[in-house]
Amino acid sequence: MKTVTARAHTNIALIKYWGKKDPDLILPYTSSVSLTLADFYTDTTVSFDPTLKADQFHLDGIAKPAGKVSQFLDLVRHRADIPTYARIESHNHVPTAAGLASSAAAFAALALAGSRAAGLDLSPSALSRLARRGSGSASRSIFGDLAIWHRGHDDASSVAEALPPTTLPLRMLVVMVDTSRKAIGSRALMANTVATSPYYPAWVTTNENAVQAMVEALAANDFAQVGHLTEQSSMQMHATILAADPAFTYWQPETLTAWAIVKQLRAQGIPAYATMDAGPNVKILTLSPYVEQIKAALAPTFGERLLTTGPGPAARVLTEVPNA
Ligand code: 2P0
């Protein structure tokens, strides 16, 4: 047995995932496409220890209930055929209160560190499938830069892979509208959207077509189309959520303010496109030459509440030490 520390970066979906066909295996209704981000990541250390009577989990140095972490490690234990409990320590490296602390990075790092610590040597594809069982979006954080999660139809076929690298100098600005804890978790809201939104079936069809269009736009280095598809997928997801029963939105007034600035910038010829996830913060997809102009346009309203990042690397092992 080894003590293994792994790092995985968060990702932001350009074409969104929203809704599970199989909540246990986490098989999604749609495929999705994401950009892994350089500056936001989770480091997780796992060590299996035969003397432990239960898993012990610390997040940023504070003891936490091991619930979801233990359930996930049960998959690893089953696969490695070991009964042993583990010590798990995670550190989120996200700028203070950025509202980006992500289950994607968390479960991708746990999948890599946990499987290696248990003596398994899984391929990126097998890691992606494993990470998916913790959180759907974690399947994509195994890979760097651009990734596609194929929705598939069973545990083996619902897996992410890296997309061919693009020469586009992609950048993402994060507008921190509100970084307090979200009112409704994405897992519960996803389930309610599937169950009650009359627009859900239309969203699945439209979003699945957008996945293919996005792959083609990226291959063609067509940033106007990449950005357009990104903004459309997000707005269509939020419209579908808004139409659920009870009606709901993650947006706040400043979410619309930021989106309006993005649209003004586009009207001036600056390629900037907005995407929002399970919260009110706005991420702006652009190209590196335009970052300063976009920051200048946002600064009067959002001041210091802005972060800029770019494509980040795949999940990787940082250290691996045999246990004494
Ligand atoms: C995404 N989101 O594609 C979408 C867009 C949020 C909005 O994946 O239930 O934490 O653990 O599979 O992956 C957030 O949901 O959900 C998410 P579970 P997850 O990035």
Could you tell me the distance, in angstroms and rounded to a whole number, from the CA of residue 29 to the centre of ligand 1?
A: 12
Q: Would you state the pLDDT for residue 1?
A: 84
Q: Would you state the pLDDT for residue 98?
A: 62
Confidence class of residue 102 from pLDDT cuts 50, 70 and 90?
confident
101, pLDDT greater than 80: no
| 28 close to ligand 1 (CB < 6 Angstrom) | no
| 277 close to ligand 1 (CB < 6 Angstrom) | yes
Could you tell me the distance, in angstroms and rounded to a whole number, from the CA of residue 52 to the centre of ligand 1?
A: 32
| 250 close to ligand 1 (CB < 6 Angstrom) | no
**Among the three residues 146, 166, 186, which one is the final residue of a domain in this structure?**
166
Please give the average per-residue pLDDT across 42-50, as a whole number: 98
84, pLDDT greater than 70: yes
Neighbours of 157 (CB within 10 A): 11
Q: Which atom of ligand 1 is nearest to the CA of 32?
A: 3
Q: Which atom of ligand 1 is nearest to the CA of 17?
A: 3
pLDDT per residue over 109-118, tens digit each?
999 999 999 9
33, pLDDT greater than 70: yes
CATH number, position 138: 3.30.230.10
Q: Would you state the pLDDT for residue 134?
A: 98
| 36 close to ligand 1 (CB < 6 Angstrom) | no
Could you tell me the distance, in angstroms and rounded to a whole number, from the CA of residue 138 to the centre of ligand 1?
A: 8
Atom 8 of ligand 1, residue of closest alpha carbon: 137
Atom 11 of ligand 1, residue of closest alpha carbon: 135
Same domain? For 33 and 137 the reply is yes
| 13 close to ligand 1 (CB < 6 Angstrom) | yes
Q: 3-class DSSP state for residue 147?
A: strand
Q: Average per-residue pLDDT in the chain?
A: 96
pLDDT per residue over 138-150, tens digit each?
999 999 999 999 9
The two structure tokens encoding residue 189: 């809201």
| 74 vs 311: CA distance, rounded Å | 32
Confidence class of residue 182 from pLDDT cuts 50, 70 and 90?
low
Same domain? For 7 and 73 the reply is yes
With respect to residue 155, please indicate whether it lies within any of the assigned structural domains: yes
| 231 vs 224: CA distance, rounded Å | 11
With respect to residue 43, please indicate whether it lies within any of the assigned structural domains: yes
User: 């009577």: which residue's tokens?
Assistant: 53
The two structure tokens encoding residue 312: 């980040």
Confidence class of residue 180 from pLDDT cuts 50, 70 and 90?
confident
Count of structural domains, the chain: 2
pLDDT per residue over 148-163, tens digit each?
999 999 999 999 999 9
Q: Would you state the pLDDT for residue 324?
A: 79
Among the ranges given (67-81, 92-106, 257-271), the one the predictor scored with the smallest mean pLDDT: 92-106
| 166 close to ligand 1 (CB < 6 Angstrom) | no
Could you tell me the distance, in angstroms and rounded to a whole number, from the CA of residue 161 to the centre of ligand 1?
A: 17
Same domain? For 275 and 140 the reply is no
Same domain? For 54 and 99 the reply is yes
Q: Which atom of ligand 1 is nearest to the CA of 102?
A: 10
Domain that holds residue 72: 2-166
Neighbours of 27 (CB within 10 A): 18
| 137 close to ligand 1 (CB < 6 Angstrom) | yes
Q: Percent of the chain, pLDDT > 90?
A: 94
Same domain? For 174 and 107 the reply is no
pLDDT, greater one: 99 or 52: 52
**Among the three residues 141, 166, 191, which one is the final residue of a domain in this structure?**
166
**Of residues 83, 25, 24, the one with CA closest to residue 55:** 83
Could you tell me the distance, in angstroms and rounded to a whole number, from the CA of residue 249 to the centre of ligand 1?
A: 15
Could you tell me the distance, in angstroms and rounded to a whole number, from the CA of residue 12 to the centre of ligand 1?
A: 9
Atom 15 of ligand 1, residue of closest alpha carbon: 186
pLDDT per residue over 232-246, tens digit each?
999 999 999 999 999
Could you tell me the distance, in angstroms and rounded to a whole number, from the CA of residue 324 to the centre of ligand 1?
A: 38
Confidence class of residue 34 from pLDDT cuts 50, 70 and 90?
very high
95, pLDDT greater than 80: no
Q: Which atom of ligand 1 is nearest to the CA of 103?
A: 10
Same domain? For 6 and 106 the reply is yes
Neighbours of 17 (CB within 10 A): 25
Q: Would you state the pLDDT for residue 74?
A: 98
| 109 vs 92: CA distance, rounded Å | 11
- Burial letters for 35-68: b for 16+ Cβ neighbours within 10 Å, e otherwise? bbbbbbbbbbbbbbeeeeeebbbebeeeeeebeb
**Among the three residues 135, 166, 197, which one is the final residue of a domain in this structure?**
166
With respect to residue 208, please indicate whether it lies within any of the assigned structural domains: yes
Q: Which atom of ligand 1 is nearest to the CA of 138?
A: 13
Q: Would you state the pLDDT for residue 97?
A: 57
| 32 vs 299: CA distance, rounded Å | 31
